[in-house]
Amino acid sequence: MRSVISQVGVLLGSLVLLGCPQSGEMGEAGMRGAPGEKGDKGEKGDKGDKGDTGEQGSVGPMGPVGMTGAKGDKGDKGDTGAQGPAGPMGPIGMTGMTGATGAAGMTGAQGPAGAKGDRGEKGDPGPQGPTGPAGSGAYTEELGGFAGFTSATYTGAMSGRPAMHAKCEAEFAGSHLCHAAEYILSNSATSVPSPNGAWIDPSTNVSGGTSNSGVAVSGRSIYGYHCATWSDGTSGRYGTYVTTLGTILEDGTCNVSRSLACCNGPRKTRFAGFTPTSTTGSVGGRPKMHALCAAAFSGSHLCHAAEYIRSTSSVTVPSPNGAWIDPSTNTSGGTSNSGIPGSGRSIYGYHCATWSDGTSGRYGTYVTALGTILEDGTCNVSRAVACCY
């Protein structure tokens, strides 16, 4: 405002000068007057035109990062997108460890039996399997098992006990001639052939005497009445047989033709065979005799008497000299060459001085061609060796 007053003053001064004639030289300029009083505020002028847009200024520095805002509400789930293409196959992972086998589940209920199918044709027999392991050699009670009576009949003249076993085996596979106690223990319900009954071997007990009763520890007797070891069929020769009533008799009727009573109870001993070569009683000891058997029949050994008798062998004994065998003993300690289940090998009986002496007069034990057991002074005689498993 003060500036406006000053301008008005200057303007008035100029008008005075212009109104006066100039007759002489210009005088000196007068003193500047005092500023006038402030004028009233002028009215607001009209709005001026909008000026041109100025150039954009340079970008200012970035301000500080603001505080994180509060988390918004979760949006609605979007629609499932289209399946993308399969990615490349990854490398094969390492094999994991096998887990522990779980416990076996309970057996389900048995379903109903299906209809019986047609019988198939008989297949070809398979190849023979390998020889089984040797038995335990354990002795136990005699068990009865009855196979049947032969349809054919015979007198007591049968060329020995092995031949009697062979006749049973021919009609009933795996069977042998029964001895009395064995037949009784079988509790057979089969009718005995009438009227003559059936031949049977006598039995013995641990005391060594004949005992034709059903005692479980009884064995086959080879010294009782058996038609001279089943070699004599004459009248007056005594033999043992089972009657039609199921009892056991011994009488002089070896000339009578009868069936054979055949049993198939289990046996703990098995006969291997007779060695193809012969020897005197001078071999060099019992181990040498066992070795001769093992060489001829793998896993076998020299039989002792009770062992051979209990094997019920149907193999023909080499004739005429028979085969060497060890003597047996019973629970009382004496020699007992009969088929008692509890008998074992005797090493103090007659065995050619433990199979080291082959001279005449030295006693040894052997099985004869009829299947009986003899002891005599013939260790100089060359014989085969009886081998058992």
Q: Does any domain span residue 341?
A: yes
Q: Are residues 219 and 197 in the same domain?
A: yes
Give Cα 205 distance to the centre of its chain: 42
State whether 279 and 259 are in the same domain. Answer: no
In the structure encoding, which two tokens stand for residue 239, read together?
Answer: 């033999």
Please state, in angstroms and rounded to a whole number, the distance separating the CA atoms of residues 244 and 180: 14
Question: Of the candidates 217, 232, 263, which is a domain's last residue?
Answer: 263
Biggest CA pair distance of the chain: 218
Which of 263, 292, 307 is a domain's end point? 263
pTM of the complete model: 0.63
The reported pLDDT for the residue numbered 109 is 73
**Domain harbouring 293, CATH code:** 3.10.100
More confident residue, 59 or 293: 293
Q: Which of these three, 222, 238, 263, is where a domain ends? A: 263
Q: Which of 19-33, 55-69, 320-334 has the lowest mean pLDDT?
A: 19-33
Q: For Cα atoms 86, 92, 96, give the angle at the middle one, nearest 5 degrees.
A: 130
Provide the domain count of the chain: 2
Q: In terms of domains, do 254 and 297 share one?
A: no
- Shared-domain flag, residues 232 and 339: no
Examine residue 305 and state whether it is found in any structural domain, yes or no. yes
Domain of 254 in residue numbering reads as 146-263
Residues 180 and 245 in one domain: yes
Q: Residue 371: is its pLDDT beyond 50?
A: yes
- The torsion defined by the Cα of 283, 284, 285 and 288, in degrees rounded to 10, comes to -70
| Residue 314 and residue 275 share a domain | yes
Instruction: Assess whether 153 and 238 both reside in one domain.
Output: yes
In a domain, 102, yes or no: no
Does one domain contain both 166 and 252? Answer: yes
Question: Which residue blocks in the chain are alpha helix, DSSP H?
Answer: 2-19, 161-171, 180-185, 227-230, 286-296, 305-310, 352-355
Answer yes or no: is 342 within a domain.
Answer: yes
Q: What is the pLDDT of residues 120-164, one digit of tens each?
A: 676 666 566 555 444 444 444 456 799 999 999 999 999 999 999
Kindly state whether residues 250 and 280 are assigned to the same domain. no
